[in-house]
Amino acid sequence: MLPPPRGLVVGSGGGGLAVHGRKRSLVPFALTCAAILFMGLFLLIPLGAVFSYAFREGVRAFWASVSDKDALSAIRLTFFVVCLTVPLNVLFGICAAWNICKFRFRGKNLLVTLIDLPFTVSPVIAGLIFVLIFNPAGKLGGWLVGRDIRVLFAVPSIVLATAFVTFPFVAREVIPLMQSQGTDDEEAALMLGAGGWKTFTRVTLPNIRWGLLYGVILCTARAVGEFGAVSVVSGHIRGKTVTMPLQVEILYNEYNFTAAFAVASLLSLVSLLTLLAKKVTERNRRIKKASYYGQPKKEERMDYVRDSDYRRQ
Amino acid sequence: MSGIRITGVSKRFGGLKVLENVDLEIRQGELLALLGPSGSGKTTLLRIIAGLESPDCGTVTLEGMEVTDRDVNDRNVGFVFQHYALFRHMTAFENIAFGLRVRPRKIRPSGEQIRERVMELLKLIGLEQYALHYPAQLSGGQRQRVALARVLAVQPRTLLLDEPFGALDAKVRKELRRWLRRLHDQIHLTSVFVTHDQDEALEVADRVAIMNEGRIEQVGTPDEIYHCPESPYVLQFLGDVNLFYGRAGEEGKVVVSPSGEGAGTRAREDGRLEKIYVRPQHLDVQTEPYEDGGFKGTITHINSAGPYVKVELASQWGDPVQVYLTQSRFSELGIRKGMEVFMHPRETTAFPAGVQ
């Protein structure tokens, strides 16, 4: 006996699937709507509000707020802190990643876990740790005060607290990248006679540059916006130890909303620029990766295997 | 003078013994294949020669000089990685020039000299027109050739290749290995390459060292190891083989399989149990019984695509037997699936049972 015609079975099956598919197509639509609604409510409206408040009393008032002496000092301090902490964390991140990815040693997992610590500790606690360490009543703090070095309630502690909080960003980006690339490239460079430093600058660094840049962007964004830890250690001395987020808080507490939102809008602008830079880097990274690991377009014929080539000598 | 001499090298990774007291001598200018299954320690041995791993004990001598404690970049050894390890942010040209560019200023060739040398090498590998391509724009075979040229640029005394064709598809692999053989004949570098593909080793190498569980089983020319294997392991590794068990029976015949009949091969005089190996192409088949021994089997499968016709049979004792027939012999016999035929080994290799 002949088996039942195949087409019929497939046909009815296909029909069923289509109905099923139509039902399911509502789900992504609903989810998309929910996501957009959520984004609008919690992100776009507040962001719009920041800018509209900042300019509520006109461009002149905005300009007066951001060019105020204290505001300028806050901007300068924030910029200074970023310029110190980001390179510090880049250095640390690369060292840690290099160490973790290229060598075998005991306690490696512990190190990886420790790198994540600042993510899990509340920034306020991070700040308190520094207060405890550099407290003039304590040993180290007392010793430093004795030598007239102010750490707490001064710029050094702000830098330290920011560095602590932004510690993992570069390392977290670079470690997985280095791990996925393995050690072949470095070994190849060494075998070709390159020393350790040349191997690092000419092979390792170019290989991780996009991941590194991505980490730097995230690290910068966080360093600019850090509030909790810095608030604990800064001492809020106007014009001296007040960073931009702290300046916003001070102005807000003085009911000076326009000025508060003016400075806040600058911070938001930094975030938006970061987002843009992040997007560009991400795309660049993806393209690089795809073009290296992707299939070559077509396998070239080995037309170079010509006997004449070998008879030459 | 020997190109590379390895004496008493052992290596452990944690509790795992990877190499066990390995001795190996590689002659100057020779192309030697390290052949073995994955986990046999062949890549580790290659990396120890290169200096990328250090042995727990034993010594490595390159051209009469002991280098066991020397740094990687002080051995004058070229290493080609399985996955090429090309620098992806450099063009083919820059990849090849790398080894020259990173030299200390004193011995670094001038820009013009570097350019000349690189173009010469690009010509050698037939990729002159690809000088400015990035690795991502090259095919697998082209990448492997650039990797080789990059190594040759620094003029090493020894060339080491780790599974050089492992990541390529079958056709390119075959072309590239012939190319490597011809290249070797042209430049005469002492070379070692690691492979798990016995065809590749037998076709390309001057000599082959077969590795098993951290030891070297046998070293010899492809001819020697194929025709005179010293252990069942080597024999089995170098191609398909049928296994029979036997004992010296009456009239000096070997009894094959537990309950079998004489198969017409010579047996040990003392009547000890032996493993008898017969390659599929060394089994004769005919439809009539052999006068002198032989055994029966039923054909279970025939695959006639390829240079040989591969016939699978169930022997009279129920064990599977593989026979390769030439196409002409196959059509002469006119056999079909399900037919009962008689087999007789032309060539056998026997080892006492218990020897691995």
pLDDT of residue A6: 43
Does A191 sit within 8 Å of B79, measured CB to CB?
yes
Distances (CA, A) of A71 to A63, A239, A244, A267: 11, 8, 7, 12
Per the CB < 8 A criterion, the answer to whether B184 and B196 are in contact is no
Per-position pLDDT tens, chain B of length 356: 688 999 999 999 988 899 999 999 999 999 999 999 988 999 999 999 999 999 999 999 999 889 998 888 888 899 999 889 999 999 999 999 999 999 999 999 999 999 999 999 999 999 999 999 999 999 989 999 999 999 999 999 999 999 988 878 888 888 888 989 999 998 889 999 999 999 999 999 999 999 999 999 999 999 999 988 999 999 989 988 888 877 655 555 555 554 444 444 444 555 667 778 889 998 889 888 887 667 888 999 999 898 899 999 998 877 889 999 999 999 998 888 999 998 888 887 878 776 65
pTM, full prediction: 0.77
> In which region does residue B354 sit, left (phi positive, over 0), alpha (psi from -120 to 50) or beta (all else)?
left
What residues contact B294, with CB distance under 8 A and at least 6 apart? Answer: B261, B263, B264, B342, B343, B344
The whole-angstrom separation of Cα A70 and Cα A256 is: 13
The whole-angstrom separation of Cα B175 and Cα A305 is: 8
pLDDT of residue A2: 43
What residues contact B212, with CB distance under 8 A and at least 6 apart? Answer: B36, B37, B40, B233, B237
CA distance A180 to chain B (A): 13
Which residues of A are less than 8 Å from B83 in CB distance?
Answer: 184
Domain ranges of chain A: 1-54, 70-301
Among B105, B101, B108, B187, smallest CA distance to B152 is for B187
pLDDT of residue A147: 87
Per the CB < 8 A criterion, the answer to whether A212 and A288 are in contact is no
The whole-angstrom separation of Cα B20 and Cα A224 is: 58
Provide the token pair at B264.
């017409």
Does A305 sit within 8 Å of B172, measured CB to CB?
no
The residues on B that touch A, with CB distances below 8 Å, are: 50, 52, 72-73, 77-79, 81, 83, 85, 87-89, 98-99, 102-103, 125-127, 134-142, 150-151, 153-154, 169, 172, 175-176, 178-179, 182, 185-186
pLDDT of residue A149: 86
Which residues of B are less than 8 Å from A210 in CB distance?
Answer: none
Reduced to 3 DSSP states, what percent helix, strand and coil does chain B have, rounded to the nearest 5?
A: 30, 35, 35
* 3-class secondary structure, B175: helix
> Closest to A206 (Cβ–Cβ): which among B73, B89, B185?
B89
Provide the token pair at A294.
């992707």
* Dihedral pair phi/psi, residue A177, rounded to 5°: -65, -50
The whole-angstrom separation of Cα B55 and Cα B63 is: 19
Q: Split chain A (313 residues) into runs of 10 and give each run's mean pLDDT.
A: 41 42 75 92 90 90 91 94 95 91 85 89 92 88 86 91 93 90 91 91 91 91 93 90 93 92 92 88 70 43 34 33
pLDDT of residue A287: 65
Share above pLDDT 70 across residues of chain A, in percent, rounded to a whole number: 83
> Closest to A190 (Cβ–Cβ): which among B72, B153, B179?
B72
Distances (CA, A) of A12 to A3, A4, A18, A19, A24: 16, 13, 10, 11, 19
Which residues of B are less than 8 Å from A185 in CB distance?
Answer: 85, 87
Q: Cα–chain-centroid distance for residue A198?
A: 27
Residue of A nearest to B128 (CA): A304
Amino acid at B263: A
* 3-class secondary structure, A106: coil
* 3-class secondary structure, B279: coil
Does A190 sit within 8 Å of B178, measured CB to CB?
no
Per the CB < 8 A criterion, the answer to whether B4 and B189 are in contact is no
- CATH 1.10.3720.10, applies to A70-301: yes
The whole-angstrom separation of Cα A1 and Cα A127 is: 83
Does A193 sit within 8 Å of B102, measured CB to CB?
yes
Does B103 sit within 8 Å of A184, measured CB to CB?
no
Strands B190-195 and B349-352, by their bridges, are unpaired
Which residues of A are less than 8 Å from B99 in CB distance?
Answer: 192-194
Per the CB < 8 A criterion, the answer to whether B181 and B31 are in contact is yes
Cβ atoms within 10 Å of A72's Cβ, excluding its own: 13
Nearest-10 Cα torsion for A65, A66, A69, A71: 110
The DSSP H or E segment spanning B18 is strand B16-27
* Dihedral pair phi/psi, residue A258, rounded to 5°: -60, -45
The whole-angstrom separation of Cα B199 and Cα B59 is: 31
Per the CB < 8 A criterion, the answer to whether A309 and B122 are in contact is no
Which residues of A are less than 8 Å from B103 in CB distance?
Answer: 193
ipTM of predicted complex: 0.81
The whole-angstrom separation of Cα B196 and Cα B31 is: 16
pLDDT tens, position by position, A204-259? 999 998 889 989 999 999 999 999 999 999 989 888 899 999 999 999 999 998 89
pLDDT of residue A192: 93
Among B151, B150, B146, smallest CA distance to B129 is for B146
The residues on A that touch B, with CB distances below 8 Å, are: 184-185, 187-195, 198, 202-203, 206-207, 288, 291-292, 294, 296, 298-300, 302-305, 309-310, 313
Provide the token pair at B17.
């013994």
